[in-house]
């Protein structure tokens, strides 16, 4: 037979809210019977039984630890923030709830593993200002400008992504590459696309033809036209 048990403040707070004194007494008696004599009393009052259902798991856990301690085993520490130490009676000690911390060495190893994972996930982007993708300086600068726009749009300029962009452009001459890149810059696109049929560049001799009326272009067409004009 046990000589005592831990009565938590949470038990008192739950019972104290009741106005029915007889019900309070029944709950106190049920707690004592369960904790001291392992006698489970079912209360007829629904509210009282609900309170006992909440309290019972903690009492049963403490009883088990008490029995384990009698067998010579070290009682496991509970996670409610209190540690029960069996001496001649019981001593209630408030703890932080983190008694079972890992050794410092294991913590250091864990931190190293986290750093490794971060390195794997982190994508290291190049400093594109010093990169050279094309011999044509104007084309190369335009491509670098496009990469900077991609970066602002939260697109990752990984080696694989850049290689895919360069492969798309490799099918065309420098003049068309410039026009396609510029199209993506104008529209703030993350990718590069071929020009539509109506966007095909007018031939060089177009500048020398007599014009009766001023031809109006879209901003995108004007940029492409100006580039061809000044680079031929």
Sequence-separated (6 or more) residues with CB below 8 Å from residue 227: 175, 178, 179, 182
pLDDT at residue number 182: 92
Q: How far is it, in rounded angstroms, from Cα 82 to Cα 160?
A: 55
∠ CA 206-195-139, rounded to 5° = 80
Tokens at 172, concatenated: 């065309």
| Per-position pLDDT tens, the chain of length 232 | 677 888 888 888 888 888 888 888 988 888 888 888 888 888 888 888 888 888 889 989 888 888 887 776 565 555 555 444 444 444 444 555 545 556 777 788 888 888 877 766 554 444 444 578 998 999 999 999 999 999 999 999 999 999 999 999 999 999 999 999 999 999 999 999 998 865 655 444 344 444 445 556 677 767 776 666 666 5
What are the Cα distances from residue 53, in Å, to 30, 58, 209? 11, 10, 95
pLDDT, tens digit, 9 for 90 and up, residues 33-82: 888 888 888 888 888 888 888 888 998 988 888 888 777 656 555 555 54
Q: How far is it, in rounded angstroms, from Cα 143 to Cα 162?
A: 10
Q: How far is it, in rounded angstroms, from Cα 198 to Cα 125?
A: 36
């Amino acid at each position: 037979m046990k000589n005592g048990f831990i009565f938590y403040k949470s038990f008192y707070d739950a019972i104290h809210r009741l106005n029915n004194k007889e019900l309070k007494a029944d709950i106190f008696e049920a707690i004592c019977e369960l904790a001291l004599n392992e006698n489970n009393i079912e209360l007829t009052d629904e509210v009282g039984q609900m309170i006992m259902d909440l309290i019972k798991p903690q009492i049963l856990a403490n009883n088990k630890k008490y029995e384990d301690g009698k067998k010579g085993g070290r009682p496991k520490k509970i996670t409610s923030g209190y540690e029960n130490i069996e001496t001649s009676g019981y001593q209630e000690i408030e703890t932080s709830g983190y008694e079972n911390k890992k050794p410092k060495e294991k913590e250091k190893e864990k931190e190293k593993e986290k750093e490794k994972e971060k390195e794997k996930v982190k994508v290291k982007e190049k400093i594109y200002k010093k990169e050279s993708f094309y011999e044509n300086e104007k084309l190369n600068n335009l491509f670098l400008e496009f990469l900077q726009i991609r970066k602002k749009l939260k697109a990752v300029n990984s080696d694989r992504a850049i290689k895919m962009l360069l492969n798309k452009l490799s099918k065309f001459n420098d003049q068309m590459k410039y026009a396609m890149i510029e199209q993506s810059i104008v529209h703030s696109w993350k990718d590069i696309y071929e020009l539509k049929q109506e966007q095909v560049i007018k031939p060089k001799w177009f500048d020398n033809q007599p014009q009766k009326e001023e031809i109006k272009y879209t901003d995108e067409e004007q940029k492409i036209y100006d580039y061809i004009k000044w680079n031929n």
